[in-house]
Structure 1
């Protein structure tokens, strides 16, 4: 949505708007590949006139309404494994402190790994039903592992407390958040704070949409209206408060 109509494929390359942190991000993407993580595109050249060129990653990307194959437990497990691979590969990489990383959906506390911050289904490339790569790193920034896992769960569980028009019917969000956490290998301390971090994530997502609506971004104005307006954000935030104990129990029960 953030780059609606501005991303184009050119053979084996993708031409798209470059984020402000593109130089630092490009260095990270190259370092991730050198560290053995192949689940991200590679930059092909330095940004020119506010645009960048990245490698095109062939595969299947689920778009809403999300197909049933993309919402299976096995697909979700593969997302958790892929996210863990990103974080582990990035953990030892140097990151320039003065890089203009996006703050829009980033962990307000910062952290030791490169978080993608937008692992929605539309940003995951699948091959043979398994998550193969992440795309659209515009919102990436240093943060805590639990922040990125909670952001991912918001989209994939989904942690909303409501029936989604985008997801297949019958998904159990508490069971699915456990699947994601187990596949990722989320540590006990992170599981204990996960429900609280999920509420922080919800507030961050709300502020993200509000900023774009305030700027008159037609894509987000329409998306907000189609998604139920601010009342839906209110309901989701209330559900996360009410379900905090259940979320923690789902993540920590043996």
Structure 2
């Protein structure tokens, strides 16, 4: 990418289809773009300046949003993005999003995407996909969230669980290649994320089980993409250990539940 234009890399769903045009970004518009754009603008009115601002559509129906300058971690994730300070700032940024979003009504007439949505639903619009590729950093601190395509109503704790999956990360060490640095302390990092968010004691007690639930939803999402023959997800599944890797991860989460709970509460 050049300083003012070109393809923006990162992510899987819109790979090769997102471009910077000076101060704007052009990307495929999701079917629910009108409601999502209205929500993003309402967040801005409430003082949340950590997300792109929608500014309309192209003649081809692609959406235009303001470009958010900064550094976005791409795999293999750099050491600076995996520091304790970076992780805590991700939790703090997510809390800011939720606090601003609590005052914005969610359009219940909209068919929000269910791909990664909280099965229990909720009145808050969750981002649902706060992976490293969707967080903008400056000077090692998370300052903005991008790519709200999978946002849907849910519990705030669901969004924390989804974020933990990507950022702690909530996966057991294994032989499959991973984009994360080796040696990350999962229980300690889970605590750092919860502290950064300011998670209540009750939610800390519930978080490990919600992470397990979120992992099941993510697996089902991947299974649907693979069944549809999506080449990006077929390749990622093969490179990351296949379904056996998912089995090991889900069993490991259950086995480590007490360890995670102790790290969060003690």
TM-score, with structure 1 as normaliser: 0.97
Q: Is contact 1:191–1:252 with CA below 8 Å preserved after alignment?
A: yes
Partner of 2:4: none
Task: Establish whether residue 129 from structure 1 lines up as the match of residue 144 from structure 2.
Answer: no
Partner of 1:161: 172
Structure 2: how far apart are the matches of 1:251 and 1:26? 35
Task: Establish whether residue 102 from structure 1 lines up as the match of residue 113 from structure 2.
Answer: yes
For residue 95 of structure 2, the aligned residue among 84, 96, 110 is 84
Q: Is contact 1:115–1:141 with CA below 8 Å preserved after alignment?
A: yes
> How big is each residue's C-alpha offset from its partner over 1:52-80, in whole Å with a ceiling of 9 and x where there is no partner?
11111110000011000000000001100
Partner of 1:218: 231
Structure 1: how far apart are the matches of 2:190 and 2:123? 23
Partner of 1:198: 211
Q: In the TM superposition, what are the counterparts of 1:32-111 in structure 2 within 5 Å?
A: 32-46=43-57, 49-111=60-122
Partner of 1:143: 154
SS at match of 2:56: coil
SS at match of 1:45: strand
Question: Structure 2 unaligned runs (5+)?
Answer: 1-11
Question: Structure 1 unaligned runs (5+)?
Answer: none
Structure 1: how far apart are the matches of 2:225 and 2:256? 29
Structure 1: how far apart are the matches of 2:260 and 2:235? 31
Q: Is contact 2:23–2:67 with CA below 8 Å preserved after alignment?
A: yes
Structure 2: how far apart are the matches of 1:216 and 1:8? 25
Q: Which runs of 4+ in 1 moved over 3 A?
A: 46-50
SS at match of 2:232: helix
State the 1:165 CA deviation: 2.1
Partner of 1:188: 201
Structure 2: how far apart are the matches of 1:242 and 1:50? 47
TM-score, with structure 2 as normaliser: 0.92
Structure 2: how far apart are the matches of 1:178 and 1:121? 18
Partner of 2:5: none
SS at match of 2:20: strand
Q: Is contact 1:157–1:173 with CA below 8 Å preserved after alignment?
A: yes
Q: Is contact 1:22–1:47 with CA below 8 Å preserved after alignment?
A: no
State the 1:188 CA deviation: 1.5
TM-align CA RMSD: 1.2
Partner of 2:247: 234
| Number of equivalent positions | 253
Structure 1: how far apart are the matches of 2:157 and 2:85? 21
Q: Is contact 1:86–1:114 with CA below 8 Å preserved after alignment?
A: no
Structure 1: how far apart are the matches of 2:149 and 2:60? 16
